[in-house]
Structures are given as C-alpha cells and as structure tokens.
Structure 1
Amino acid sequence: MDIVKCNNCNIVICELLAFVQNKADVMDEDSILRLCSTAFTTDEITQAKKLLFESVQTTTRRVHRKGEGKSKRDMEDILCVIKETDPDLVPIFVARDLHRLPPVTFDHIDATRLLRDIIKLQDNVLFIKENYATKEMVLNQTSEIYGNKKRGAAILQDSFDCNSSPVGLPHISTEEFQTDSTDIIHTSCIDNTKTQRPVAHLLSSDSLARKVTCHSGLSLSRPTERLSGENGSGGRRSAVSPVRVTSRPARTEVSQPSSNSYAEAAARAPRASEVAGSSTSASNGKICKNDDWVLVQRRRNKNRFTAMTGKADSHYNTFKAANTRIPFYIYNVDINCMTEDISNYIMSKTGVDVQLEKVNMKFKKDYGGYKFMIPKDKLSIFMDENLWPCGVSYR
C-alpha cells in the first residue's frame, strides 16, 4: 500500500478503502461489514484503518481494537470516518488489484430493505400520477384561456355574461360599434318598452357629445308623414298609428356625457342639495336658487351629566368627601438642591406635606425632576406661577 500524491490530486491505493468509498452510498452498513470481513483479512483491515487516519484530517480519535470482533469494530470505525468527513477532504481511493474487490451478490443484500425501498418508490410514482398534471393538460388549459381573451368577448361591456366557447365570438371592430351607437340612442328614445344598457365607455367623444332631444312634437311629425306618404302611394297601412303616438308621454331632453374626462361629467351633474331643493320647492310652488352648503350636525344634549358639588359643613359627621390625590411634577431643578429643602419650601408655601420621589431620566440631564402627590382640591394653589422659584417648570 502506497500514498501516491501529485500537485493536482491526492490518490491513495487501497482496495478495501476503494470498495467502501464506492459502496457506502449504495449498500447498508451491515452488508458492507459482513462482506468486507469475509473478503479481507484482519491485517488488511488494520492497515486500511491506519492508512485512512493518516490521509484524512478528522477529529475522530483513533482507537486500537482488541479481542474478539476486532475486524468488525475496525470496519465500523472506517465507515464512520468516511461518512462523517466532508467528501472534498477525503482523498480518492483506487484499487491496484481489481480481483481483490469482492463481488456484490444477492446473498450480501438485505432483501427486506430492498422491498421496502421498492414499495416506497411505487407510492411516490402513484402520488405523482394522481396529483401532477401532464404537459398536454397544461398546454390545453393555457390555450383555452388565451382563446377566451382574444376572441372578442372583452370588447363588449357585459363580457362576464358571454361564453366564447370553442368557436369563439366574432371579431368586432371599434369603428362598426361606434357607427351603430347612434342608432341605439335613437331607438332608445322611440321605443319605451325596451331597455338599452349604457355603452358610453365604448363610444367616441363626438358621438357622445350629441344631445338627443325626444319630445312629443317630434315623435308625432314623423309617423304622420309616413302615414300620408304610404297612403298616397299604395294605400299601405302605417306601422305606427297616430292614436298610439299621441298616447305616449312626452320625454325630457337627454344628453350623453362626453367620455373625455370624468371631471366634466361630474361638473355637469346636478348636486344632491339642488335635487333635494328643487323637489321641495316644486311641491311648495317656490323656486330655490341657493347653492350654499348647509352643515348638518346631530343635536347633542349639552351638559347631560354635569354634577354639582356640596358645600355643607361635615366636621361633626363621618360622612365626607374622599381625599383624592393626584400626581404633580416639577423639573428643571438644580442638581445640588436637597429633597428636604424642597419639601420644607412647599410646606411653608402651601401647608401641604409632600413626599418627593426623584424621576429617573432616560438620558443624563443637567437638572433634576421630582414627582409627588397633592390633594385634588389644592391643585389651583400648586398651579400658581408665583408659588415656584423662577425657572422651575411644573405640571
């Protein structure tokens, strides 16, 4: 056994290590141990272990095995080092005598593990067949979505009600749709029984800017001319009778807003206050031309829970008001000032004995701050600016 080294590679000649390195990922450990223990001698296994620890830098401690089962335990050490070491740090083990490599037959394979792996593989294949889509299915779905978008359904306003089907809708040009829009507007004014959906967003700005005026005089003139012309030529009966035309209610002026901008349509639209004012004034017989906004607010009950304070003398009874105390803060106080001096000053000015508590600043300051509790009824005294020295802040 020799270690052959070159500038670009690290090759170690050892039949046992070459066999273990190539079969460690294919065979289980028990099969490798059983096969190598019978194919190689104890001395060969010991020399291979020594060569492995010399050629690989590992933290595993080399243990000299003794007694019965020495070969098996040495093989376990070899497998442990090869599997735990980074493959890039393990040298390339090669075999000089190929006939020394033991053949792997079915006698050295764990049949139970092989069957378990086959069953696991079958389950994975079945799962893929049931849950994964084929390439043909994905292509068909993609082409179907592309066909629905490109066959004209998106041009119509109510495209969500349309189904292009495998044949698809006919291609509709924008010019043809714009020319037919004028006829749609006229027919909507004449026929009162049919309801036309708004198509303002598909029409051009010129056609939408036209004002269509439908009133009783215009609707009566056209059927009369048709009736006289047809009776004079061949006595043909008119499709619309004068009685039927006169029975129709008069229509107001209908204007189609321009689609240039929504701001123009919003500016021309009547305000809600104007509509409400016009309806109210029409019922009362008055015309309201006031365009000012009126602020509407909910009427609130002011001073709903206002409480009064008693003033009776309670020195002769235990029934009296609670002595509520509230926190009071003073800061911008000189650091060298003592708490006893501050307490004595407050006692002399207000007659209230307070317990000062120094406030811990998050950042170091050049001044100090204190907190203390005062009676609530004495708050007006403590809030007097003439009480505190000049420069001392309080709240």
Structure 2
Amino acid sequence: MSNNLVVNELLAFLQQKLDVMDEVSAVQICATNFSEEDIAAAKLMLFTVLNKRDQMVSRRRDGTKKSLQDIITLFKETDPDDVPTFVAKELHKLPPVTFDRVDVTSLLKDIVFLKASLADVQAKLDASQKTVVDLRQEFNEFRNTAAVTRSSADASNANTRRGVSLDLLSPSSVSAVSSPVRTSIAEIAECPPRAPRSSVPVAAAPPCAAARPRPLCPAPLPEHVAPAKLLHRDFASVTASAPAAPISKPLPDKAMKKADNEDGFVTVQRRKRRTQASRNLCGKAPATPGASVRAAQPNTPVYISRLHYTTKVEDIVEYVRQKLKYTLRVQRLESHRNVNFQAFVVRVPNCFLHLAMDEDFWPQGVVFRRFRGQIPQNSTIKI
C-alpha cells in the first residue's frame, strides 16, 4: 500500500472492509449509507489517482450499485502497492457493520467449511499417530530380534577348542552349542583327563595303534549346567545302522605349529612379491654421435592457431628451425567451419617443450596450447 494519504470516507471504508466482507454486503451497506453524488465523486477520485480515467465507464441507469461494483473491481485488479491509502476525515460517515446488513448465509457456509476442514485435519492427525505407534512397535520388535540373533551368533562363533571358557556363554547359547553333540554320559565319564604337555619326546606309536580310531573327548561342561539334565536326552534315534562318525585326520606339522601359540593367534606375514621376469629394463650405454641405433625422443603435440590464412606448413617448419635449430613434424588441421585463419599441430620433443610453451616463442596474436584429442591420420604431413 502506498504512503500517499487521500481523504475519502467511502474509499477508506471499502479499502479496509473488502478483505473481510463479501461484495454483496459491501455494496448494500455503501448504497444505503452514501448518496449517489458521494459514490460518483469517489469513483472519479479513484480512477484519477490511479491514472485510469480513460477506462472509467459512465453509468446512467442504476448507477449507484454499478459504480460501487466498478470501484470494488478496480481495487481487486490493482496492485496494493500502487493504491494510495484512503483515510476518513468525518468518522460519523463511516457506516457500521451489523448483522441486518450482512449476508449471514455466507458466514454459515464459511463456518461449515471450517468445521469440515478441522475434522479432516483431526482425522489425518489420528492416522499419523496410529502410524507412529505401529512403526515404534515394529522397531522395538526388530531391535529385540536383532539382539537375540546377535547373542546366538556370538555363541555359535565361540571357538571352544582355542580355550574359550563356556562360562562366558549364556544358558541358551550353551544348549545351542552342546545340542549337536550326540554322545552318552558313560562315554564322557570314560574319557580321561588331558595330560599336561611335557618337553620329553615321546616314542612313536606302532602303526596299528595309530590307525585305530579313538573317541573324541568333548570339552568339560560348565559347573552351572547340571548333569541330571543331560540324562533326559533322547538317544533312541541313534541306532547301529547310523553311519559312523568320520575319523578326524591328523593336522599337518605347519598347522600344529600355528595352533601351538600361547595366545591362540597366528602371526600372518605379507607374502613377498615375485620378481617379474618380463619387466622392462632401460639401457645405460652412452649414445655415440651418428650411431644408427639410438633411442627415440618422446614428443608432445602442441596446438597453434589464429595464424594468417596464407601460412603454410613449410613456414612453420622454417620458423621453428630458426628458433630451436631443430626440424619438427607439422600437420595442418582442417576446420569444419569457414574461418579466416590456419591451425597446426607441431610435434615438439620434450626437451624443447618448455621453450615452445613460452609466450615469447610464438609471434604476437598466435594462440597455442597442448593439443587435446586425437590427431587425424589422413592429413599428416612429414617434413
């Protein structure tokens, strides 16, 4: 809204009430409380202030309501920043807004619409809360399942043959570890205790004794697991027709050495890389001047452009020969567009590259850089 202040009671009333009232009620109130001359003067003032007097339509029949409608339409179609601020000098001319002059039906419709919108928002809120509760419950179930799975995985990964004590495992994990073992209590009782390791060498057993299978002794049971529970196991499924358990093969000497570490860990060393028999070698013999066998010099293609259209390949070769005392290979590039300059590619040896990439090497106005891309083979010129 503009900072300019214009005194007019009718325009001040409409400017303030159009945001909260419907057009029918506003037209009815203004037509009742303002005269036809006041309405015509207000209309003329509004169109004059907004520089739209040429668009004003004169109303002859029923000009009061139509003029008010023109004023309301102009208020709505004009940017509020371009409309000046209308004020009232005589406040008693401002009509009161009462219920007998307001369309109550529109208000009731607005109230019904607000109630429906509020009910919709409440339904969406209830659905969102229910979804949050379901997600929270699913998350708790997933977390409990993950905890149980982790505990069972830790119990199954425990290596009791390395000396890990079964006292560290939970009762559920102990039952999970000991359930696959199908042995009898008598067999456990007959298994003698493991003899301490002695440094005295023991004589080798005869071949017949080494080939005879020997029952494996399970790890000692923890103290908190009662032997009475093991007596109730079902051994009826074990019959004479069941296949015999595979005989464990003796571990090789290297494996026994690795398993004999005190802490139960094995030191792993990185395997040395083998020397490649076909790797490239570089000669070091001094090169003889004029020898027929000599190393090729690596070169780098340099792109030069913006040369005069009359420049030839021979001119570039002669220019470089005068600068470097060396003859280079030069190739002219064909442009896909119609240009008025020439472009070339110069193959510069790496030993002269720092000189060719100097700004003082090429004439003024010549553009140069390292060549990017693939050099076309059909237009190569060797000089």
Q: TM-score, normalised by structure 1?
A: 0.41
